[in-house]
Amino acid sequence: MADVSRRNLISGAAAAGSLVVAATHASAEGEQPPFGPTPAPLSGKELPSFRFPLSSQPPKVYDGGWAKEATVAEFPVSERLAGVLMQLSSGALRELHWHANAAEWAYVIKGRCRVTTIDPQAHSEIVDFEAGDVWYFPRGHGHSIQGLGPGDCQFILVFDNGYFSEFGTFSITDWLGHTPVEVLARNFGAPEATFAAFPKREVYMTKGPVPPPLASDPPPGSLNVGAETHRYRLLAQRGERFPGGSLRVVSERQFPISTTVTGALLRIKPGGLRELHWHPNAAEWQYYVRGRGRMTVFGSQGRARTDEFAAGDVGYVPQGYGHYIENVGPEELEVVLALDSGAYQSISITAWMAANPPLLLATNFGVPESTFASFPKREAILPE
């Protein structure tokens, strides 16, 4: 568990509000979390639970949708990544906003939505998403999300900072609602009366008409689209197929804008095993979409912790910690993964052992060399 000083820091930050967290992080460079270098992680005798039941949390309900979040406030081990499950009804708009202290990565679970974005070069992109698509908004870039129907759109948002809070973002209505009307009049070259009907506080989410389809051939110059799209169709990727399942990975290699997050869609057949591995450069945040899984995390010094996961649960693996996932249910297990580095790195124990001479392995384990002759040589998802 976190030591006392760290815990106080976390609760202190939560009590003081997310603006404090944002300001602290904005001044920090590089990949370190906002409170300096990561302390010796999870140094207690026992490992804490790496499971958080996100979907059974009470939602924050808005006009047109809801959100449930898992940050360090709710899920203390997840220091490097936070997540939000959000649903928008047809026409519901998650208003124009930005995040000062995190980039936003998302996977669309069901339904359709439209995203608008702006970057510091004034490139804008308006693009539609459907189930299986991924988006990425660099830290601080403005964006909005609107449900397109038919039916609700549900997506999982992941932020590359556990101290982030979706409920403490920078919203356009919040800002304009707290700007003197004479300044607004000057800024927009309009009479003060124009702003009388503007909201006085943050809207966050609101209902509206479903927008018309995007023009398939917008007039030249109507959009200043940058070189890098914000959409990647992860489910459309073939990915890697194994006897026990499949793995689709989207790092900055496939999706250049996604410089701080690698995403993945992991499917494991009943009885299958995503074998023992670790990620040298990143923590792993997981959302269990379907099925029943069991993950074991190895935390050194004789410590291993197993948790069971059902649909709607979140899992977390600290950077460099060994782990494996088993499908323990009767149906396919589907997990959305997000790692907090744009470069995908994974080392499998199978490949590691296969890269060492059998004589060394025999010495290491104190067993005959022949023991290893039939061991697999490549990373895989193993069947039942």
Give the torsion through C-alpha atoms of 373, 377, 381, 382, to 10 deg. -10
In this complex, which beta carbon is closest to Mn ion, that of residue 269 or of residue 323? 323
Annotated active-site residue 292? The verdict is no
Contacts of 175 (CB under 8 A, 6+ apart): none
Spot the catalytic one: 69, 79, 125, 166.
166
Annotated active-site residue 323? The verdict is no
Which residues in this chain contact Mn ion in the complex, by CB under 5 A?
A: 104, 284
Tokens encoding 214: 């995007």
Spot the catalytic one: 25, 99, 305, 323.
99
Angle between helices 4-16 and 18-26 (to 10 degrees): 110
Annotated active-site residue 202? The verdict is no
In the complex, minimum distance from the CB of residue 84 to Mn ion, in angstroms, rounded to a whole number: 9
Q: Could you tell me if 252 and 343 are in contact, meaning their C-beta atoms sit under 8 angstroms apart?
A: yes
Spot the catalytic one: 112, 114, 139, 143.
143
Spot the catalytic one: 97, 141, 248, 323.
97
Cα–Cα distance, 90 to 71 (Å, whole number):
27
Annotated active-site residue 143? The verdict is yes
Give the torsion through C-alpha atoms of 285, 289, 294, 298, to 10 deg. -10
- The closest of 52, 40, 66, 71 to 160, measured between CA atoms, is 71
Annotated active-site residue 94? The verdict is yes
In this complex, which beta carbon is closest to Mn ion, that of residue 99 or of residue 269? 99
Tokens encoding 215: 């023009």
In this complex, which beta carbon is closest to Mn ion, that of residue 69 or of residue 284? 284
In this complex, which beta carbon is closest to Mn ion, that of residue 89 or of residue 346? 346
CA distances from 279 to 42, 213, 320, 380, 382 (A): 17, 41, 5, 15, 19
Which residues are part of the catalytic machinery? Answer: 94, 97, 99, 104, 143, 166
